[in-house]
Structure 1
Amino acid sequence: MIQNPIYILAILSFLIFGSEWLCKHTKLKHLSSSLLVILLGALFANLGVIPSASNASPVYDSIFQYVAPASIFFLLLGVSLRELKKAGMPMLIAFSLGALGTMFGVVVALQLVDYRAVFGENYAAIAGMMTGTYTGGSANFNAIALEYGMLKEGAVFTGIVVADNIMTTIWMLVTLSLPMLMKKVRNNPEVLSKPALAIEKHSEEEKLSPLNLGLLMGLALGTMFMSDFISDWAALQGFPVPSVLILTTLALVFAQTKFIQKISGAKFLGMYAVYLFLVVVGAFCEVTALAAVGVNAIDILVFTGAIVVVHGIVLILCGLMFKLDWSIVAIASQANIGGSSTALALAKSFKRVDLVLPAILAGALGTGLGTYLGFLVVTLV
Structure 2
Amino acid sequence: MYMQESFNTPLRWQSFFFLLNVKLKDLRYAGLPMLAMFIAGSICTVIGVLAGYFITQPQHHDIQQSYAVAGMYTGTYTGGSVNLNAVALQYGVNKEGTLFAAINAVDNIVGTTWIMITLVLPSFLQKFFPREKKLSGLSSDISGQEAVNKISFGKEEVTVPGISILLALGFGSLFLSNLLSQYIPQIPSILTLTTLALILAQIPFIQKINGARVMGYFLVLVFLAVIGAFCDFKALSQSGDVAGLLLLWVSILIIIHGVLIFFIGGLFKQDWDLISIASNANVGGTATAAVCAASLGRKDLELPGLLAASVGNAAGTYLGIMVAELLK
TM-score by length of 2: 0.94
Kindly state the Cα deviation for residue 203 of structure 1 after the two structures are TM-superposed: 3.2
- Equivalent runs, 1:50-89 vs 2, <5 Å: 58=2, 60-89=3-32
8 Å contact 1:63–1:276 — kept in the other structure?
A: no
Partner of 2:160: 210
Which is worse superposed, 182-191 or 168-177?
A: 182-191
Per the alignment, residue 141 of structure 2 pairs with none
Instruction: Give the match for residue 84 of structure 2.
Output: 141
Aligned to 2:117: 174
Question: Structure 1: which amino acid aligns with 2:75?
Answer: G
Residues 5-154 of structure 1 correspond to what in structure 2 (within 5 A)?
Answer: 58=2, 60-154=3-97
Whether the aligned pair in 2 keeps the contact of 1:143 and 1:244 (CA below 8 Å) is: yes
Letter in 1 for 2:145: L
Could you report, residue by residue, the CA deviation over 1:146-192 in whole angstroms, capped at 9, with x for unpaired residues? 11111111111111111111111111121011111111232122121
CA distance in 2, matches of 1:119, 1:73: 32
2:208 aligned to 256, 262, 268, which one? 262
1:326 positional shift: 0.6
AA paired with 2:231?
Answer: C
Report the Cα distance in structure 2 between the residues aligned to 1:228 and 1:119, rounded to whole angstroms. 31
How far is 1:206 from its partner? 1.6
The residue aligned with 2:227 is 281
Please say if residues 71 and 324 of structure 2, whose CA atoms lie closer than 8 Å, have aligned partners that are also in contact: yes
What SS does structure 1 have at the residue aligned with 2:153? coil
Tell me the amino acid that sits aligned with residue 171 of structure 2.
L
SS of corresponding position for 2:239: helix
TM-score of the aligned structures, taking structure 1 as reference length: 0.81
Contact 2:70–2:320 (Cα < 8 Å) also in 1: yes
From the CA coordinates, give the structure whose radius of gyration is larger: 1
- The answer as to 2:157 corresponding to 1:231 is no
* Overall identity of the aligned pairs, in %: 39
CA distance in 2, matches of 1:224, 1:119: 33
Deviates more, 1:288-297 or 1:258-267: 288-297
Corresponding letter in the other structure for 1:228: N
Please tell me whether the aligned partners of residues 7 and 227 of structure 2 are also in contact (alpha carbons under 8 angstroms): no
1:219 is matched with 169
User: Could you say what secondary structure the match of 1:241 adopts?
Assistant: coil
| Aligned counterparts of 2:135 and 2:304: Cα–Cα separation in 1 | 11
Shift of 1:121: 3.8
Higher alpha-carbon deviation: 61-70 or 316-325: 61-70
Contact 1:199–1:353 under 8 Å retained in 2: no
Distance 1:242 1:224 in 2: 12
Cα separation, 2, equivalents of 1:64 and 1:205: 28
Alpha-carbon offset, residue 292 of structure 1: 4.2
Matched, 1:368 2:314: yes
Deviation at 1:310, TM superposition (A): 0.7
Pick closer, same or farther for the CA change 1:63–1:208 going to 2, 3 Å: farther
Q: Which amino acid aligns with 1:160?
A: I
Q: 5+ residue gaps in structure 1?
A: 1-56
Distance 1:133 1:194 in 2: 29
Corresponding residue of 2:146: 198
2:195 maps to 1:249: yes
Secondary structure of 1:295's counterpart equals: helix
Moved more, 209-218 or 119-128: 119-128
In structure 2, the partner of 1:185 is 128
Question: How many Å separate the matches in 2 of 1:214 and 1:119?
Answer: 44
Q: Is the 8 A contact 1:141 1:371 kept in 2?
A: yes
Structure 1 residues 315 and 119: CA distance shift in structure 2, 3 A: farther
Contact 1:79 1:252 in 2 (8 A): yes
* Residue identity matched to 2:218: Y
Residues 4 and 95, structure 2, Cα contact 8 Å, conserved in 1: no
**Conserved in 1, the CA contact under 8 Å of 2:75 and 2:320?**
yes
1:309 equivalenced with 2:255 (yes/no) = yes
